[in-house]
Amino acid sequence: MRDVFHEQLDAVFDDLAEICRRVESSVHRATESLLGGDAALAEQVISDDIEIDRARERVEDNAFSLLSLQAPVAGDLRVVVAALRMVSELERMGDLSVHVAKIARLRVPAIAVPDEIRPTVQRMAEIAEDMVTRASQIILSRDVRAAIELGRDDEIMDQLRRTSFAQLLSDDWAHGVEAAVDIALLGRYYERIADHAVSIAHRVVFVVTGENPRSVAATEAAAEAGA
Amino acid sequence: MRDVFHEQLDAVFDDLAEICRRVESSVHRATESLLGGDAALAEQVISDDIEIDRARERVEDNAFSLLSLQAPVAGDLRVVVAALRMVSELERMGDLSVHVAKIARLRVPAIAVPDEIRPTVQRMAEIAEDMVTRASQIILSRDVRAAIELGRDDEIMDQLRRTSFAQLLSDDWAHGVEAAVDIALLGRYYERIADHAVSIAHRVVFVVTGENPRSVAATEAAAEAGA
């Protein structure tokens, strides 16, 4: 029984990693449509989101049948529930890239992001996409150290958001209210994508160690300090 | 065994309703701090959020012990997992009211919301709060009709957001970029609170009927049309 359970559980995590790669592509293309003012690409991101939703349903069905048929307890139970939570977060990340694509579409043939703030937005998008890429690797590798590392990158995103606000609110800002509102919302969407990636990484730490990431990081730091 | 399970499950739902009432208070006070420029009240909303987080942990522990000790299958299993999801959403709603309070705090001694757009923001806040109130009643009453009704109110929130954007982007807007960005983000936070309330109501429909709300609503509509 045990082996069937763990095989099926591995299959669930493989599916999660696969969905995470879809989300990565969605974030990537949404950014491309945003920075290139590409309406067709934006449409594609919006219509492709249904595939992420469908993949989520499949993972949920598999996780439920695992719970029903194998009735795992303790640690195993928490792992399956963690998988269910991870898939909800992945779906949200897909929705957030749809929001980015919708801002792109709304401004075509113009480009929502003025040249002057483009490097900041591009950097936010890159960080978000990179965090999603690493989250999918972490789901597959169950690499606790990489997962804790990912959590630390959240700070860079915070900083970029502060930079973007400073630019929007400076006296030099010559692009008016509409562009400023777009940038503020885009920043929020990329920040939330990054938050979810961190949360997924933290759930992997929990899945592997049975502990929450903060205590694992503290133990590691203490070990390093003692070494 | 069956009875112990359902008693414990009822206790979990009572706890969920209790957390939902805390969220309602959080949304209410955040709005008050925002519209009154009340820094002390904003601080209180921010620091009280830890209580929602702690209550979430207790519900999670209870739900996990239910799963572990009673190993429910099929419908019962899905109900417990739905409860776990509802509590995550409630926690997020608490976080979102903290975001509202943080915007209030940032602008003190000024008030983030200019008089001219105050009615729109106030209406968004009222709708969000009302939806949270009704969500907590729905959790307790398991009233499927009320839950489906709640889903329909989402449209009002969408409309208010469109109204707020029209105001921000009109030539008459004299409050600059900072206030516009605040309003856009506030609109997003209230909208997300409302989304989560709808999602919670939909989970209650699923808990009661075993079906998703869309098909339940369609069946009801067909019955009414035939009557």
pLDDT digits (tens, 9 = 90+) for A170-226: 999 999 999 999 999 999 999 999 999 999 999 999 888 887 777 777 777 777 676
Q: Give the pLDDT confidence score for residue A30 in this predicted structure.
A: 98
The residue with greater pLDDT, A59 or B223, is A59
Q: What is the CATH number that goes with domain B2-219?
A: 1.20.58.220
Among partner residues B64, B67, B177, which is closest to A180 by beta-carbon distance?
Answer: B177
Assigned token pair, B91: 């926690």
Cα separation of A25 and A213, whole Å?
A: 27
**pLDDT at res. A115:** 96
Q: What is the pLDDT of residues B12-37, one digit of tens each?
A: 999 999 999 999 999 999 999 999 99
Q: Compute the nearest-CA separation of B65 from chain A (Å).
A: 8
Residues in CB range of A201: below 8 A, 6 or more apart: A134, A135, A138, A146, A147, A148, A150, A151, A213
> Min CA distance, B204 vs chain A (Å)?
17
Domain ranges of chain A: 2-220
Q: Please report the pLDDT score of residue A48 as a whole number.
A: 97
How many angstroms separate the CA atoms of A101 and A72, rounded?
Answer: 40
Q: Rg for chain A (alpha carbons), in Å? A: 19
Q: What angle do the packed helices B154-169 and B118-141 form, to 10 degrees? A: 160
- Quick check: B72 and B80 in contact, CB under 8 A? yes
Closest CA to B221 of B147, B143, B117, B145: B145
Per-residue pLDDT averaged across B177-193, rounded? 97
Cα-Cα-Cα-Cα torsion A207, B85, A74, A143, nearest 10 degrees, comes to 0
- In tens, the pLDDT along B32-69 reads 999 999 999 999 999 999 999 999 999 999 998 888 88
pLDDT digits (tens, 9 = 90+) for A6-49: 899 999 999 999 999 999 999 999 999 999 999 999 999 999 99
Closest CA to B62 of B115, B20, B11: B11
Q: With a cut of 80, say whether residue B220 has pLDDT above it.
A: no
Buried-exposed string B184-194: b where 16+ CB fall within 10 A, e elsewhere: bbbbbbbbbbb
Give the residue-averaged pLDDT of B70-76.
83
Is A181 touching B (CB cutoff 8 A)? yes
Residue A2 has pLDDT above 80, yes or no: no
pLDDT value for A73: 80
* A67/B contact by beta carbon, under 8 A: yes
pLDDT value of position B102: 98
Q: Which of B80, B91, B164, B181 to mutate to test the interface with A (most CBs of A within 10 A)?
A: B181
Please give the average per-residue pLDDT across B203-210, as a whole number. 89
Alpha helices in chain B (DSSP H): 2-36, 39-70, 74-107, 118-141, 144-152, 154-169, 176-209, 213-226
> Is the predicted pLDDT of residue A151 greater than 90, yes or no?
no
Residue found by looking up tokens 């960005």 in the block: B181
Gap between the Cα atoms of B126 and B27, Å rounded: 9
Residue B224 pLDDT: 66
pLDDT at A31: 98
Q: Do B177 and A169 touch (CB under 8 A)?
A: yes
Contact A198, A155 (CB under 8 A): no
Render pLDDT for B112-144 as a digit per residue (tens, 0 to 9).
999 999 999 999 999 999 999 999 999 999 999
Is the four-CA dihedral A52, A58, A62, A63 of positive or negative sign?
positive
Res. B98: pLDDT tops 60:
yes
B88 to chain A: closest CA residue: A85
Question: What is the predicted pLDDT for the residue at A224?
Answer: 66
Six-digit token string for A31: 């950014």
> Do B68 and A88 make contact, defined as CB atoms within 8 angstroms?
no
How close A186 gets to chain B, by Cα (Å)?
11
Of the CA atoms within 13 Å of residue A224, those in its CB half-sphere come to: 7
Q: How many other β-carbons are positioned within 10 Å of the β-carbon of residue B97?
A: 32
Domain A2-220, CATH 1.10.540.10 — does that match? no
